[in-house]
Structure 1
Amino acid sequence: MKTIQRIAEAPDGIGTDVIGVPPGSPVDLDLRLESVVEGVLVTGTAEVTLAGQCARCLTPIASNEEVDLQELYLYPDKEPDDEEASRLDGELLDLEPLLRDTVVLDLPYTPLCRPDCAGLCPDCGADLNADPDHSHGEKIDPRWADLTGWTAADEEADEA
C-alpha cells in the first residue's frame, strides 16, 4: 500500500457551462494505492474549487468541494475483452478521467448562491435578492387592456 498526498493543477473541461472547476486551479489529492490481484486499487479524496454562476440571479458563486475517488486500474494483461476498464500504462495511471467523472456527477444540477435565492425580475431583470419588494404595479391582462378606461360612470354618460 502506498499513500500519496499531492496538489495538482486542474485540467480543462471539468464541469458544465454554469459551474465547474477552473482550469489550472489546485486539486488537493489524498490517495491510497493498493496492489490487488487484478491491478491497482486507487481510493481517496480530491478537494476542488468550484466557480460558476447562480442559475437564478446570475451572481458569481465559488465553493470548495471534496469528492471521494475509487477506481480499479487493471494490469494490461487482465481482462482484455473489457474495453471500458481503466488500465495501467506501465507504472502510470491516469487520474484525469476518474476526477472528471466524479466531479461532474457531484455538481449541483441547478447551482444557487443560496437556497432561498429569489432570482431576477422577469419583466426588467432587477435582482430580487437586493430589492425583495420590487414591483411594477398591478398587471393587466392584455386581452382586457382596452377596457381599463371603461367605468360605470362612462356607461351612465353614454345612456344620457
Structure 2
Amino acid sequence: MTDSGFVIDVRSVPRRPGSLTEKAWSFDTPDRIGAEMIGIPAGGRVDFDLRLESVSEGVLVTGTVGGHAEGQCSRCLDPLDQDISVYLTELFAYPDSETDRTADEDEEVERIVDEKIDLEQVVIDAVATDLPLSPLCTPECPGLCSICGVKLTDAEPDHGHDIIDPRWAKLAERLDDPKAAGRADEAGDAQ
C-alpha cells in the first residue's frame, strides 16, 4: 500500500468498540476522479472530513469527501464546473476479524493492511456514482443541431434544415430539374 493522501494510519484509533477519532485533511489528487463527462481533475483538491470509529469487526469510516468537479455539458459541450460533496460509509475489516475470515474472494470487503486503510477506491466509487453520467449546463439545454452542429441556444429562432426522405429524393431531383418537369408536363398533356 503506497502512502498517498488516500491512506490513513489507524493506529490512533483504539481497538475498543465505540472509540472514535475524527480526521480532516486535504490534498491534490494525482489522478482524475469521476465520470466520463465530469470529474475532479488531476491536481484538483480533495477535502476529507471523516470519523473513524472502532467497531468489533474493524474501523467504520463515515463522513464527507468533496472537491471541485470540471467537465462539459453532454448536450451542447460547453464547459461546466460544480462543487461536489459525497457521503462515505465503509467498514474496513481487521485482519483477524470474523468478517475478514468469512469473506469470499468475490466479496468486496475493504481491509486494514499494516494498520492502514486506503480510501482511494472507496472515494473513486462514491464520486463516480454521485456525479451525473450526462451532466447538463442547464436542465433545459437544447444541445447542438444534429445536422450542422450549431449550438441551438445561439441559433436563429427559425433554424432548421430541409431534409428529404431518401425514398423521395429521386422525385425531388426530377421536380428540381426543369427539363424533367417539362417532360412530366408533356406526358400529362399527351394523355
| Structural RMSD (CA) | 2.4
- Match in the other structure for 1:80: 101
Which protein is bigger by CA-based radius of gyration?
2
In 2, are the aligned partners of 1:11 and 1:96 still within 8 Å (CA)? no
- 1:129 paired residue among 127, 136, 153: 153
- Count matched residues: 159
1:37 counterpart = 2:47: no
- Match in the other structure for 1:2: 21
Change beyond 3 A, Cα 1:137–1:36:
closer
Change beyond 3 A, Cα 1:137–1:17:
closer
Change beyond 3 A, Cα 1:134–1:17:
farther
Letter in 1 for 2:34: G
Where in structure 1 are there 5+ consecutive unaligned residues? none
In 2, are the aligned partners of 1:56 and 1:119 still within 8 Å (CA)? yes
Shift of 1:99: 0.3
> In 1, Cα distance between the equivalents of 2:96 and 2:182?
92
Q: Normalising by the residue count of structure 2, what TM-score does the alignment of the two structures yield? A: 0.73
1:19 counterpart = 2:58: no
1:146 counterpart = 2:165: no
Change beyond 3 A, Cα 1:157–1:43:
closer
Where in structure 2 are there 5+ consecutive unaligned residues? 1-19
Q: Normalising by the residue count of structure 1, what TM-score does the alignment of the two structures yield? A: 0.86
Write 1 or 2 for the structure with the bigger share of helix: 2
Change beyond 3 A, Cα 1:117–1:148:
farther
- Match in the other structure for 1:89: 113
Shift of 1:23: 1.2
- Match in the other structure for 1:114: 138
